[in-house]
Chain A
Amino acid sequence: MSAAHQSNPDRPHPDKWIKVLPEGLYVEPGGFYIDPVRPVERAVVTHGHSDHARPGNRHVLATPGTLAIMRQRMGEGVGGSLQALEYDESLRIGDVAVRLVPAGHVLGSAQVVMEHAGSRVVVSGDYKRRLDRTCAPFEPVPCDVFVTEATFGLPVFRHPPDLGEVQKLLHSMALFPERSHVVGVYALGKCQRLITLLRAAGYDRPIWLHGALEPLCRLYGSLGVELGELRPATVAAKEDLKGALVLAPPAAVADRWARRLADPVVAMASGWMRVRQRARQRGVELPLVISDHADWDELCQTLEDVGAPEVWVTHGREEALVHYATSRGIRARALALIGFEDEDSEGVTGGAAGGEAS
Chain B
Amino acid sequence: MNRFAALIDALVFMPSRNGKIRLLVEHFATTPDPDRGWALAALTGALTFREAKPAAIRELAATRVDPDLLALSYDYVGDLAETVALIWPERPERANSLPPSLNEVVEGLQAAKRGQVMGLVEGWLDTLDSSGRFALLKLITGALRIGVSARLAKTALAEWGRAARPEVSVDDVEEVWHGLTAPYPELFAWLEGRVERPASGSGAGFRPMMLSHPLEEEDRAALDPAAYAAEWKWDGIRVQLVARGGERRLYSRTGDDVSGAFPDIVDHMSFDAVLDGELLVARDGVVAPFNDLQQRLNRKTVTAQMLRDGPAWVRLYDILFDGDEDLRGLSFVERRARLERWYGAVQPRRMDLSPLVPFDRWDELVALREGARENGIEGLMLKRRDSAYLAGRPKGPWFKWKRGALTLDTVMMYAQRGHGKRSSYYSDYTFGVWRGEELVPVGKAYSGFTDAELIELDRWVRNHTTRRYGPVREVEAGLVLEVAFDSVHPSNRHKSGLAMRFPRIHRIRWDKPAHEADRLETLAAMVVG
B300 at the interface (CB under 8 A from A): no
Indicate if the CB atoms of A281 and B13 lie closer than 8 Å. Answer: no
> With the chains together, A275 CA to B76 CA distance in Å?
9
Indicate if the CB atoms of B69 and A324 lie closer than 8 Å. Answer: yes
Indicate if the CB atoms of A263 and B421 lie closer than 8 Å. Answer: yes
A285-B13 in contact given A155-B73, A175-B26, A323-B68 (Cβ < 8 Å):
yes
Q: How far is the CB of A41 from chain B (nearest CB, A)?
A: 38
A255-B424 in contact given A275-B77, A324-B69 (Cβ < 8 Å):
yes
**Which residues in B have their C-beta under 8 angstroms from that of A255?**
424
Q: How far is the CB of A40 from chain B (nearest CB, A)?
A: 33
**Which residues in A have their C-beta under 8 angstroms from that of B419?**
283
Q: How far is the CB of A258 from chain B (nearest CB, A)?
A: 6
> With the chains together, A285 CA to B468 CA distance in Å?
23
Indicate if the CB atoms of A158 and B421 lie closer than 8 Å. Answer: no
Indicate if the CB atoms of B69 and A285 lie closer than 8 Å. Answer: no
Chain B, range 1-40, C-beta contacts under 8 Å to A: 12-15, 19, 22-23, 26
Q: How far is the CB of B14 from chain A (nearest CB, A)?
A: 6
A319 at the interface (CB under 8 A from B): yes
A156 at the interface (CB under 8 A from B): yes
B72 at the interface (CB under 8 A from A): yes
B78 at the interface (CB under 8 A from A): yes
**Which residues in B have their C-beta under 8 angstroms from that of A155?**
65-66, 69, 73, 86-87
> With the chains together, A320 CA to B72 CA distance in Å?
7
A317-B76 in contact given A156-B87, A160-B129, A276-B12 (Cβ < 8 Å):
yes
**Which residues in B have their C-beta under 8 angstroms from that of A327?**
66
Q: How far is the CB of B345 from chain A (nearest CB, A)?
A: 53
> With the chains together, A276 CA to B13 CA distance in Å?
8
Indicate if the CB atoms of B471 and A323 lie closer than 8 Å. Answer: no
A254 at the interface (CB under 8 A from B): yes
> With the chains together, A313 CA to B78 CA distance in Å?
24
Q: Name the contact of A158 in the complex, choosing from B66, B68, B86, B424 (C-beta under 8 A).
A: B86
> With the chains together, A8 CA to B16 CA distance in Å?
67
Indicate if the CB atoms of A275 and B86 lie closer than 8 Å. Answer: yes
A259 at the interface (CB under 8 A from B): yes
> With the chains together, A157 CA to B65 CA distance in Å?
14
Q: How far is the CB of B122 from chain A (nearest CB, A)?
A: 18
Q: Mark B454-475, 1 if CB is under 8 A from A, else 0.
A: 0000000000000010110000
A287 at the interface (CB under 8 A from B): yes
Q: How far is the CB of A347 from chain B (nearest CB, A)?
A: 12
Most B Cβ at <10 Å: residue of A156, A175, A176, A324: A156
Q: How far is the CB of A12 from chain B (nearest CB, A)?
A: 33
**Which residues in A have their C-beta under 8 angstroms from that of B86?**
155-158, 274-275
Indicate if the CB atoms of A280 and B13 lie closer than 8 Å. Answer: yes
**Which residues in A have their C-beta under 8 angstroms from that of B130?**
158, 160
Indicate if the CB atoms of B83 and A254 lie closer than 8 Å. Answer: no
Q: Mark A300-329, 1 if CB is under 8 A from B, else 0.
A: 000000000000000001011001100100
> With the chains together, A259 CA to B451 CA distance in Å?
13
Indicate if the CB atoms of B22 and A175 lie closer than 8 Å. Answer: yes
B324 at the interface (CB under 8 A from A): no
Indicate if the CB atoms of B90 and A156 lie closer than 8 Å. Answer: no
Q: Mark A151-178, 1 if CB is under 8 A from B, else 0.
A: 0001111101000000000000001100
> With the chains together, A13 CA to B73 CA distance in Å?
33
**Which residues in A have their C-beta under 8 angstroms from that of B423?**
254, 266, 283
A279-B424 in contact given A154-B73, A156-B76, A156-B86 (Cβ < 8 Å):
no
B417 at the interface (CB under 8 A from A): yes
**Which residues in A have their C-beta under 8 angstroms from that of B264?**
none
**Which residues in B have their C-beta under 8 angstroms from that of A317?**
72, 76
Indicate if the CB atoms of A349 and B69 lie closer than 8 Å. Answer: no
Indicate if the CB atoms of A154 and B13 lie closer than 8 Å. Answer: no
User: Nearest chain-B residue to A273 (Cβ)?
Assistant: B13
**Which residues in A have their C-beta under 8 angstroms from that of B68?**
320, 323
Chain A, range 231-286, C-beta contacts under 8 Å to B: 254-256, 258-259, 263, 266, 274-277, 279-281, 283-286
**Which residues in B have their C-beta under 8 angstroms from that of A349?**
468, 470-471
Indicate if the CB atoms of B13 and A156 lie closer than 8 Å. Answer: no
A-B contact pairs, 13 of them (CB 8 A): A154-B69, A154-B73, A155-B65, A156-B86, A158-B90, A160-B129, A160-B130, A176-B22, A274-B86, A277-B77, A287-B13, A320-B68, A323-B69
Top 5 nearest A-B pairs (CB, nearest first) are: A156-B86, A156-B73, A283-B423, A320-B72, A285-B13
Listed in ascending order, the chain B residues whose CB lies under 8 Å from chain A are: 12-15, 19, 22-23, 26, 65-66, 68-69, 72-73, 76-79, 82-83, 86-87, 90, 129-130, 134, 417, 419, 421, 423-424, 468, 470-471
